[in-house]
Structure 1
Amino acid sequence: MRNLPFPLVIMCLVSIRGYCPLPTTSGVPGTYPKGDYYDYEDTVTPLSPGGGSFQRCDYNPCRESQIPCEELSASDRCLCPGITLHHQPPGAPDLKSVSWNGSDVVLRWCEPYSHVTSYIVTVGGQEKQRFTREQRSGAVGEIDDIAEVCVMAVNEAGESDRSCMMYQPKDNWALTAGLIGGALGFLLLLLLVVLLWRCRRQRK
């Protein structure tokens, strides 16, 4: 080592130490590239899904009532997608649908790649309902008029942007149209009966 040039000595020391810095997203420490997979017990170095014996955890961000991915990683030694941590506001959830199920308006969404403690649903800008972090769907009762329905994720650092859809109560309109059509049909039938009765009287 004494006979080696000083820069070469530095390179040898670095290669022996094998140092690898914590990955960052947009230069913010403690965040991980979206979609990359990590071992939660050793998050210093990202692991390839095909590397070694590790596999991706059986975790779907759109599936409801799942065991948190970090718990699956600790128990099964599987890999979770990188997420933003609790000291940063979460990313926006992905609202998939807003539909009428016969008695309530039901929303379905997917979890963001973030630490989430709960979800808030708003209708027309007003908070309507809160749901736990495990839920990916929820009912908010009836909505009589056209309204913007949104869901946002929440954690200790704040709230996410909203993910929204316009809800149009088509089923209610169909019911109203059916009732009006039935009433008109009844009136026409009644009018026909009256006309027949008057014709018979005139014949007599």
Structure 2
Amino acid sequence: MTSLLLLFLSASPLLHSHLFTHAASTSPPATRPRIIFMTGLSSDDNYDDDYVDEETHSPPTEVLESVKTTLLRQNPQFCHYNPCLENQEPCDQISARTGCLCPGVSRADVPPHAPRIQQLLPISEGDDRGKVEVQWCAPSSVVSRYRVVIEGSETLEFQDVSRRGLVESLEVGTKVCVEAVNSAGHSSPSDFSCMRYAPPESSDHKLFALVIGGGVALLLLLIMAGVIVWKYQMRKKAKRDSADGLGNPSYSREGTL
């Protein structure tokens, strides 16, 4: 009896198909494994970047970090370096320590650019009274020392970290130039590296000029007042003389006619 039943089941394709469908519907769904795409083996850190989740179809959050880094690199920070201040830390050392950017500097095997002279300031107090302080700003070049060239006089040298130097008293109109020097040569004079000495007027000179001007103005006022009084007296005398001459003609001091 059992053998007949097995034979019937195997011979019936319709029943076999129904049983297979029922078994497939009652079995748990298969879980799809995650797929990892490997595009290169140059770095172990690239595995997470190459993985794509099939359910969300979106890259992982590490991509956002890389975008943030790229945006930060597009906004560089310049170094806090003032070429007009002396005894500063060199800009290349500041850049190596903080990662900031320095202005472009010419090579050491070419002559430096000309420095920019700021002012010629006379010294009026202290032990250096009567001398003149020359102030300048460094160029964007490699500099080993500076030279202050005075027209018709001596040339003074200063260190590469210096931005000012004292010279002897100068006459008005004297031309002063600042040159930068390195192993390849020195800078050429230019309109912004040279200046003629024109000392500003001191407060004592201004006060003296005010006193002189006030005295001259007072003297002019006194002269004008004297002229006005003199004219007034002359007119008054002329009126008195004319009044005496127009009296009674029949009267005279000797008696009546």
* TM-score range for the pair, normalised by the shorter chain length: 0.5 to 0.7
1:85-104 deviations in whole A, cap 9, x for unaligned? 11000000011111212122
Matches within 5 A, 1:3-152: 51=73, 54-102=76-124, 103=129, 104-152=131-179
Structure showing greater Rg: 2
The answer to whether the 8 Å contact 2:111/2:182 transfers is yes
What amino acid is aligned across from residue 73 of structure 2 in structure 1?
G
Cα distance in 2 between the residues matched to 1:156 and 1:65? 21
Cα distance in 2 between the residues matched to 1:68 and 1:170? 34
Q: Say if 1:144 and 1:125 are closer, same or farther in 2 by CA, change over 3 A.
A: closer
Cα distance in 2 between the residues matched to 1:123 and 1:138? 12
Aligned residue in 2 for 1:167: 197
Q: How far does residue 55 in structure 1 lie from its aligned partner after superposition?
A: 1.6
What amino acid is aligned across from residue 55 of structure 1 in structure 2?
Q
1:132-180 deviations in whole A, cap 9, x for unaligned? 11111111121245310110100110000121111135669x77xx7xx
Matches within 5 A, 1:159-198: 159-162=186-189, 163-169=193-199
Question: Percent of counterpart pairs with the same letter?
Answer: 39
Where do 5+ consecutive residues of structure 1 fail to align? 1-49, 182-204
Cα distance in 1 between the residues matched to 2:201 and 2:165? 19
Choose between structure 1 and 2: higher strand proportion: 1
Choose between structure 1 and 2: higher helix proportion: 2
Runs of at least 4 residues off by over 2 Å: 50-54, 125-128, 168-172
The answer to whether the 8 Å contact 2:171/2:197 transfers is no
Aligned length: 130
Q: Say if 1:129 and 1:86 are closer, same or farther in 2 by CA, change over 3 A.
A: same
The answer to whether the 8 Å contact 2:120/2:134 transfers is yes
Q: How far does residue 73 in structure 1 lie from its aligned partner after superposition?
A: 1.1
Cα distance in 2 between the residues matched to 1:133 and 1:148? 22
* TM-score, scaled to structure 2: 0.45
What amino acid is aligned across from residue 83 of structure 1 in structure 2?
V
Cα distance in 2 between the residues matched to 1:80 and 1:125? 38
What amino acid is aligned across from residue 115 of structure 2 in structure 1?
P
